[in-house]
Amino acid sequence: MIRVVLVEPEGEYNVGFIARLCRNFDVKELYIVRPKCDLEQAKNFSAKGLEYLSKAKIVNNLNEALQGVDVSLSTSSIADSQGDMLRKSVTPEEAAKAFGDRHVALVFGRESVGLTREEIEMTDFLVHIPATPDYPVLNLSHAVGILLYEFWKLRRKETRPKVSQDSVMLIEKYVRTVYEHVKRSEGDLDMYVALRRVLLRGIQDEEEARAVIRFLRKTYMRLIHEEE
Amino acid sequence: MIRVVLVEPEGEYNVGFIARLCRNFDVKELYIVRPKCDLEQAKNFSAKGLEYLSKAKIVNNLNEALQGVDVSLSTSSIADSQGDMLRKSVTPEEAAKAFGDRHVALVFGRESVGLTREEIEMTDFLVHIPATPDYPVLNLSHAVGILLYEFWKLRRKETRPKVSQDSVMLIEKYVRTVYEHVKRSEGDLDMYVALRRVLLRGIQDEEEARAVIRFLRKTYMRLIHEEE
């Protein structure tokens, strides 16, 4: 199940086209954080996606827009900056393969400046659409279309064994708590980001997830014990 | 080498967005058959794809636009109509895999009525972008974006930096040592096996490996009360 989240979209035509794309690719939810354009005007570009603009959830911040999803993916035309773990990105294909069967929030930034670093940090993964390094900046609605298309392709042929939402949340919880005990400074954040991403990417089934959770929990208990 | 061919495009914004997409995905040629919109207006939507509008070849019929290519693919939101061979379509993925290394013309029809039967007959294959049967009609420029994205994925060589043998051995070493500190019985061995397998499967490059190794090492240090 897919939720499209637009953060402060500025162009009526983009919002309208995105509503149409939501209908084309059977998106379940459209959230808009602090729209900076006229949603009435946007309807002129939404064709048979009109309904999505009428029922879109307008919220005041990204946090609200991420409530209730299993995993959130932010998008950026900048990726893999040297030594910047936060910017380490996955491709739309990898994202669809890993999370296509979950309740996923796809988060898209402003046409002008994209998402802030803080907004990207609020999401679980960063997705980058491969394009020419010479000019990789896609127009907003076209980036949305390509991501929805990749997720749609996967939803047509469901294969991958499921990892439960509970397990995903437990893994995120224990990686975070262990991290809180071993970090020396905020500069260590990249360790946490990297380990969580690697685990969610690498785990193939529920049995494996359970074994990893036991490992993390025992490590956490041991760390707490050491502190007593 | 890709040639984008637009037949009687009607919307300035679509033509502008398509010029931008041509730049994003390094298209070589843009042909426009009998444009029905103002190409000057289109420039407002082309961003850094402006050059493509200036050098676009304006021709009088589709036949001219197909001169010199190895293979031509027409696109349609209608596909696989019963018993209509003309409408038998391939997916963007299949098209890219089959013709990605040839000189290909991707032909797109009018926003209003698409391509005529005659125009489709002039091309070698028909491509249909999978979308909800309920409303599979994509906006023109978004269909172009998805096709160009599929061809670009194939053209770009997937050269991920490999993870070094040193890092692999360090990961195994630290997972093992942390495990030795947290295990309660030999029955816990599966935790160790699972975590090591998941990490080695999930890690994508050296930088990510280094971050995970730092996480494991700091955890190990905390467990044995040592300061780094």
Give pLDDT tens digits for B55-73: 999 999 999 999 999 989 9
Tell if the CB–CB gap between A211 and B194 is shorter than 8 Å: yes
Q: What is the distance between the terminal CA atoms of chain A, rounded to a whole angstrom?
A: 44
Distance in angstroms (rounded) separating the CA atoms of residues B94 and B72: 14
Choice among B75-89, B98-112, B140-154 with the minimum mean pLDDT? B75-89
Given a contact cutoff of 8 angstroms between Cβ atoms, the answer to whether A142 and B141 are in contact is yes
Residues of chain A with Cβ-Cβ distance to B20 below 8 Å are 138-139
Choice among A134-148, B11-25, B159-173 with the minimum mean pLDDT? B159-173
Complex ipTM value: 0.73
Chain A interface test: which of B23, B50, B198 (most A C-beta within 10 Å): B198
Residue B30 distance to chain A (closest CA, Å): 17
User: In the CATH scheme, what is the homologous superfamily, with its name and number, of domain A2-159?
Assistant: SPOUT methyltransferase, trefoil knot domain (3.40.1280.10)
Q: State yes or no: pLDDT of B79 exceeds 70.
A: no
* pLDDT above 70: percentage of residues in chain A: 91
Compare A98 and A115 and report the one with higher pLDDT: A115
pTM of the model: 0.74
Distance in angstroms (rounded) separating the CA atoms of residues B153 and B25: 9
What is the predicted pLDDT for the residue at B159?
42
What is the predicted pLDDT for the residue at A81?
52
Residue B196 distance to chain A (closest CA, Å): 9
Give the nearest chain A residue to B143 (CA atoms).
Answer: A145
Task: Quickly state the pLDDT bin for A226 (edges 50, 70, 90).
Answer: low
Residues of chain A with Cβ-Cβ distance to B194 below 8 Å are 208, 211-212, 215
Q: What is the mean pLDDT of residues B150-179?
A: 80
Rg (CA), chain A: 19
Residue B23 distance to chain A (closest CA, Å): 7
Task: Give me the residue from A146, A218, A226 closest to B145, CB to CB.
Answer: A146
Q: Is the four-CA dihedral B152, B154, B156, B162 of positive or negative sign? A: positive
What is the predicted pLDDT for the residue at A83?
55
Chain A interface test: which of B12, B24, B146 (most A C-beta within 10 Å): B24
Tell if the CB–CB gap between B214 and A188 is shorter than 8 Å: yes
Q: Is A182 helix (H, G, I), strand (E, B) or coil?
A: helix
Structure tokens of A53? 């603009």
Task: Quickly state the pLDDT bin for B149 (edges 50, 70, 90).
Answer: very high
Q: To 10 degrees, the CA torsion angle through B74, A140, B138, A54? A: -170
Residue B176 distance to chain A (closest CA, Å): 11
What is the predicted pLDDT for the residue at B228?
44
Task: Quickly state the pLDDT bin for B158 (edges 50, 70, 90).
Answer: very low
Choice among A38-42, A74-78, B22-26, B76-80 with the minimum mean pLDDT? B76-80
Given a contact cutoff of 8 angstroms between Cβ atoms, the answer to whether B21 and A138 are in contact is yes
Q: What is the mean pLDDT of residues B88-99?
A: 81
Structure tokens of A45? 């570009």
Distance in angstroms (rounded) separating the CA atoms of residues B114 and B108: 7
Cα distances from B69 to residues A129, B2, B125, in angstroms, run 28, 9, 13
Residue B203 distance to chain A (closest CA, Å): 5
Task: Give me the residue from B129, B152, B211 closest to A191, CB to CB.
Answer: B211
Given a contact cutoff of 8 angstroms between Cβ atoms, the answer to whether A61 and A115 are in contact is no
Give pLDDT tens digits for B46-55: 999 999 999 9
What is the predicted pLDDT for the residue at A23?
97
Choice among B55-64, B97-106, B172-181 with the minimum mean pLDDT? B97-106
Structure tokens of B184? 């309660």
What is the predicted pLDDT for the residue at B15?
98
Backbone angles phi, psi at B221, to 5 degrees: -60, -40
Q: State yes or no: pLDDT of A159 exceeds 50.
A: no
Distance in angstroms (rounded) separating the CA atoms of residues B30 and B57: 6
Task: Quickly state the pLDDT bin for B160 (edges 50, 70, 90).
Answer: very low
Chain B interface test: which of A195, A196, A200, A201 (most B C-beta within 10 Å): A195
**Alpha helix (H) residue ranges in chain B:** 12-24, 39-42, 50-54, 62-65, 92-99, 117-121, 140-155, 165-182, 189-202, 206-223
Task: Give me the residue from B131, B178, B204 closest to A25, CB to CB.
Answer: B131
Task: Quickly state the pLDDT bin for A227 (edges 50, 70, 90).
Answer: low
Q: What is the mean pLDDT of residues B135-139?
A: 94
Tell if the CB–CB gap between B211 and A223 is shorter than 8 Å: no
CATH 3.40.1280.10, chain A: domain bounds: 2-159
What is the predicted pLDDT for the residue at A225?
80
